[in-house]
Amino acid sequence: MDSELHFDLNEITVTALAQQLANVVRQSLNPPENVTVAHPNGLDYVGAGLRGINKLTIQGTVGDYALSALCDCECTVNGSVRDYVGHSIASGAIIINGHAGNHVGALGVGGLIAVYGNAGDHIAYANHGTEILIRGSVGSHAAANMQSGTLLIGGTVGPNLGCGMRGGVIYVRGDVDQVSDDIEEHRLREPDKLKIGLLLIKAGIKATAGKDFRVYKPVDISGGS
Amino acid sequence: MNTPLNSFSTQKSDAACKPLTSRIFSSAARGQSPSQSNPLVLSIPCRRSEPFTFDAPLFLRAGTDSVLPTALLVRLQSAAREFGIPFLAKQVADDGSVSLGMGPQHMRIVPLEYDRPLASEEFRGARGAEMQLFGSPYSMDHSRSRTSSWTPALPIELQSFEALSKKVELIRVLLGGKGVVGAAIAPGMVYDDVRLVIDSNFDYVTLLSHVTHGFEDGQSLQLRDGTAVLQEAVRAKCDAGRPDFPLFVSVAATTGDEIVEWIARGATAVCLDHSITSQRPPSTANAPDSFSNFLGGYTAPVAANYQWIGAAMRKLVEQIDDRLVYLGYTTLGEFLAMVKAS
């Protein structure tokens, strides 16, 4: 089995790409080291359901639901993505060298998503455990209905941050337009700084001291210690 | 559309006199493909691939809400192969005696809860997926329900119902582009829900008016009268310009005659869960698996015997076949065409 594979979405459909990649993983003991997908042309569902491939690189901009339900893959998108990237991600990592649309990492249960540009609304919506890092700014309703996981935002944040949030933690470096009543600001502790530094390193960003970040967590409605 | 069944009984033909040799299980015994000689075969058109064909207007929902015991799951898979009846189950049996290869007889349909993340491994080896469009907390807006305005029960991450068709297409991609995607709706505002399902490019809709849990006695629930619910759904199909849209129903049908009656009223396929549960022999009422409901999930070491499920399915298929022949129809297609024309 070759350690490198190339696919061109000018020549095959997205469904055929998914089937061929699934066949490659199923038929080989050692999955390919590097898979490159060229000319995504803004197509939807590129890389949906992908699992068991070491490294996948998408050369271009992709559409909605890209890399959904991802499992055990390290994916890089050299372009921008539209809505619902990394929907239901189970494990692995998605690095986006561009901007992202709405609903980044919605319903994710694990893994890492890093966006080097800005992102739209509803980031980390109903996140169940994914670590999501946005280097730029995000829109409204970030971390809405989040259950667990981490959201780190390097830029500014739109209104209604953390509405309906029931678990997890948000780190924000820039200004926040409006914080919802469901979360409250906490003091930045040493474990938070370590976690921020580790997340930045995992996302391939030069780690800085985490002292500039603010921490938001859900309001403890149980009234516990 | 809602024609009483008795009106068919005058159309007896020569088919009523011939022996019932074209049963589903006899075709399997002769080594033929079930669809070649089976008069009950049904076909649901898929958008991207060959139709989803199954061999009787029946389906099973027993594995929708809970993880089934392995013995029961193996029995269901075996029955699906023998009778061509699709079944909904979250997991596949890891028993080596049952082949999990993709084939025309592999009929597992994955149930998808409204806010659960999509797990790609669940789709492996499945022939379809059924999205539950009920139970969303955002649909339980009591202030709106008082004014009888319809609120679509969407998956949690979708902000508008226009986005639903895109998620349906995602599920199709996760199924490898060759599966059916259905929607299950509760008997609330059925007309609007069915219109939403049709407009969102689903392949079929399942209407729940009676649900049964895991073939257990006393664990069934009548949600609403099935007749009224079915009427609303059929009207929605006709108003949407899709009278052929497959409509599955889960109702309290006990015998094959009642199943044929529901088909005559407009259902494409009828859920077997209640029918099979009603035929559960008394000796298995205290089967070892039933103890798992108590004792903190304790599972008895003795495997439960689910052989009676196969016998119950066989009996129901025979009853449907007999009823169709009695009414004068040689095939289910002929019967459905008559129902549609009426």
DSSP code, position B14: G
Predicted pLDDT at A74: 93
pLDDT averaged per 10 residues in sequence order, chain B, 342 residues: 39 39 41 52 71 80 76 78 81 49 60 85 84 65 54 78 88 86 88 91 90 72 82 91 90 87 89 84 55 49 67 86 85 78 74
In whole angstroms, give the CA distance from residue B58 to residue B83: 10
Predicted pLDDT at B17: 37
Predicted pLDDT at B283: 58
- Closest-approach residue (CA) in chain B for A64: B166
Question: Average of pLDDT values for A60-67?
Answer: 94
- Chain A residues with CB under 8 Å of B169 CB are 44-45
Contact call for A15 and B166, based on CB within 8 A: no
Q: Which pLDDT band holds residue A140 (cuts at 50, 70, 90)?
A: very high
Contact call for B117 and A64, based on CB within 8 A: no
How close A40 gets to chain B, by Cα (Å)? 16
Half-sphere exposure of B50 (CA within 13 A, CB side): 5
- Closest-approach residue (CA) in chain B for A88: B117
Pairing state of beta strands B220-222 and B210-212?
A: antiparallel
- Chain A residues with CB under 8 Å of B121 CB are 51, 71
ipTM: 0.91
DSSP result, B176-213: TT--EEEEEE-SSSHHHHHHHHHHTT-SEEEEESEEE-
Residue B30, exposed/middle/buried by CB under 10 A (0-12, 13-18, 19+)?
Answer: exposed
Burial A209-221 (b: 16+ CB within 10 A, else e): ebeebbbbebeee
Predicted pLDDT at B106: 62
Alpha carbon distances (Å) from A112 to A70, A156, A201: 11, 21, 12
Beta carbons within 8 Å of B293's beta carbon, 6+ residues apart: none
Is the pLDDT confidence value at A80 over 90? yes
Give tens-digit pLDDT for B135-169. 655 444 444 455 557 777 777 788 777 788 999 99
Three-class SS state of B22: coil
Predicted pLDDT at A168: 94
DSSP code, position A62: B
Contact call for B117 and A128, based on CB within 8 A: yes
Contact call for A90 and B123, based on CB within 8 A: no
For residues B218 and A70, the model is more confident at A70
What pTM, to 2 d.p., does this model score? 0.83
In whole angstroms, give the CA distance from residue A214 to residue A212: 7
For residues A204 and B303, the model is more confident at A204
Residue B157, exposed/middle/buried by CB under 10 A (0-12, 13-18, 19+)?
Answer: buried
Q: Which bin fits A111, alpha (ψ -120 to 50), beta or left (φ > 0)?
A: left
Beta carbons within 8 Å of B278's beta carbon, 6+ residues apart: B254
